[in-house]
Amino acid sequence: MSDSKNSWPLWEVFIRSKQGLGHKHVGSLHAADAEMAIGNARDVYTRRQEGVSIWVVPAENITASSPENAEALFDPANDKVYRHPTFFVLPDEVNHM
Amino acid sequence: MIRTLEQFDAYVAAEKKIEPKDWMPDGYRKTLIRQISQHAHSEVVGMLPEGNWITRAPSLQRKAILLAKVQDEAGHGLYLYSAAETLGVERADLIDDLLSGKAKYSSIFNYPVLTWADIGAIGWLVDGAAIMNQVPLCRCSYGPYSRSMIRVCKEESFHQRQGYSIMVELMKGNEAQREMAQDALNRWWWPSLMMFGPSDKDSEHSSQNMTWKIKRFTNDELRQRMVDMTVPQAECIGLKMPDKDLKWNEETGHHDFGEINWDEFYNVLAGNGPCNKERLAVRNKAHHDGAWVREAAVAYAKKNQKIRA
Ligand SMILES: [Fe+2]
Ligand SMILES: [Fe+2]
């Protein structure tokens, strides 16, 4: 029983929930082509008005950073606390800046 | 980042989420693949008993509601297959395991749906029990599973309410309609309680799954909640629970209830329930009858690609 083996490629689905917001990853699905992927994404991920716009991207075209590199990539920001305004203590007389 | 079992355990114990590319113990991966795919299969097979009633719903509105519910279940199956795939399995292999009978799905769907009141009982009790099981899974340590459970739970409460409202309507009806509702409750109550799985003293997977935060409450804890939640709902519309041992226990603050027929539970699980064979046969037929559609879609996509290239 292997007719299911000739399977459709995997697509990642991104939905803009309303105008003014960015597209957000919501999940994935299989579809033969982009048009079908949009159709399936509409049926599966927007049945309750969760979206006004859909992106579908073939999963194989996504390059992701690896957890192996997480320290090298993200830790350097750790010791640059001065990037946050709270690092600078204001005189008491100055309430807002 | 996680490199060792100790780090993994500490990470999970601190309620942090594991994501697909993180290191994880083999047992954790295997348990999740088994549980998530069984869960996905249950959503898919769960469409069959209700699907049979779409054309027989008593009004156009009830038909539209049931159709929407069944469509939700298809979506739930898909969210869950997607979550399983992030663990490195192929969807096609999971589906083959369902079709060959190698994989399990929830035994509840191996019971027959005899009357319209059964559709009420299923939504109220079966989806009710599913919600009880699924709400804690929203906090599961595995990110993709937890995210799909959040989506599922958002959609489930409509399922339970539409079922209960069918029971409410029937109980406001004539004698025959009230009997039909009571009969459905009589047949679905015990199988619904079995949905929480074996009793804690016989449950194999519980303690490891608790430490891994895949499971949050034991089978018996969830079952007790189900009983406590459902009894007043039944009373309120004049239904009688089919359990002579059921009574409120002032001391524990819970209902005591009768012993589950575990022989029946293990028998249905082993494939000998009233509808096991029929459900798998229908699923297989649908899959094979649809093969040409899937092939045609691939051929069409390839042809279009060539034209563009
Ligand atoms: Fe569901
Ligand atoms: Fe449901």
The reported pLDDT for the residue numbered A3 is 44
CB contact under 8 A, B22 and A67: yes
> Has residue B280 got a pLDDT over 60?
yes
Helices (H) and strands (E) in chain B, counts: 14, 2
Residue in A1, A10, A28 nearest the CB of B99: A1
CATH topology of domain A5-63: Ubiquitin-like (UB roll) (3.10.20)
The reported pLDDT for the residue numbered A41 is 97
Q: A43 to each of A10, A13, A15, A39, how far by Cα in Å?
A: 16, 12, 13, 6
Assign residue A49 a region (left: φ > 0; alpha: ψ between -120 and 50; beta: otherwise).
Answer: left
The pocket of ion ligand 2, defined by CB under 5 A, consists of B 127, 156, 159
CB contact under 8 A, A44 and B155: no
How far apart are the CA of A21 and the centre of ligand 1, in A?
29
What count of other Cβ atoms lies within 10 Å of the Cβ of residue B189? Answer: 21
- What ipTM was reported for this prediction? 0.87
Residue in B75, B90, B305 nearest the CB of A47: B75
Main-chain phi, psi angles of B249, to 5 degrees: -110, 105
Sign of the Cα pseudo-torsion (B123, B136, B197, B18, in order): positive
Mutation target to probe the A interface, by most A beta carbons within 10 A, among B1, B95, B149 is B1
Residue in A7, A29, A36 nearest the CB of B78: A29
What count of other Cβ atoms lies within 10 Å of the Cβ of residue A78? Answer: 8
- Is residue B300 within 8 A of residue A32, CB to CB? The reply is yes
The reported pLDDT for the residue numbered A69 is 87
**What pTM value is reported for the model?**
0.92
- Give B261-275 pLDDT, tens digit per residue: 999 999 999 999 999
Cα nearest neighbour of A28 on chain B: B82
Which residues face A16 on adjacent strands?
A: A23, A53
The helix/strand/coil state of B225 is: helix
Which residues face B83 on adjacent strands?
A: none
- Give B121-177 pLDDT, tens digit per residue: 999 999 999 999 999 999 999 999 999 999 999 999 899 999 999 999 999 999 999
B72 CB neighbours in chain A (<8 A) are 47
d(CA B113, CA B129): 17
Structure-block tokens of residue B306: 């060539």
Residue spans per domain, chain A: 5-63
d(CA A79, CA A28): 36
CB contact under 8 A, A27 and B85: no
**Under 8 Å CB-to-CB from B275, ≥6 apart: which residues?**
B49, B109, B110, B111, B112
Nearest CA distance, B45 vs chain A (angstrom): 17
Q: What single-letter amino acid sits at B20? A: P
* Ligand that comes closest to the CA of residue B134: 1
- Give B74-108 pLDDT, tens digit per residue: 999 999 999 999 999 999 999 999 999 999 999 99
Strand (E) or helix (H) holding B254: strand B254-256
The reported pLDDT for the residue numbered B305 is 85
Mean pLDDT, all residues of chain B = 95
Strand (E) or helix (H) holding B224: helix B219-236
* Average pLDDT per consecutive 10 residues, chain A (97 residues; last block may be shorter): 64 97 96 96 94 96 90 81 87 84
Q: DSSP labels for A4-65?
A: GGSPPPEEEEEEE-STTS-EEEEEEEE-SSHHHHHHHHHHHH-TTS--SEEEEEEGGG----
- Give B204-261 pLDDT, tens digit per residue: 767 889 999 999 999 999 999 999 999 999 999 999 999 999 999 999 999 999 999 9
- The candidate with the shortest Cα–Cα distance to A12, out of A58, A74, A76, is A58
How does residue B309 score in pLDDT terms, banded at 50, 70 and 90? low
How does residue B14 score in pLDDT terms, banded at 50, 70 and 90? very high
Does any CB of chain A come closer than 8 Å to the CB of residue B153?
A: no
CB contact under 8 A, A33 and B304: yes
Nearest CA distance, B99 vs chain A (angstrom): 9
> Has residue B287 got a pLDDT over 60?
yes
The reported pLDDT for the residue numbered B205 is 63
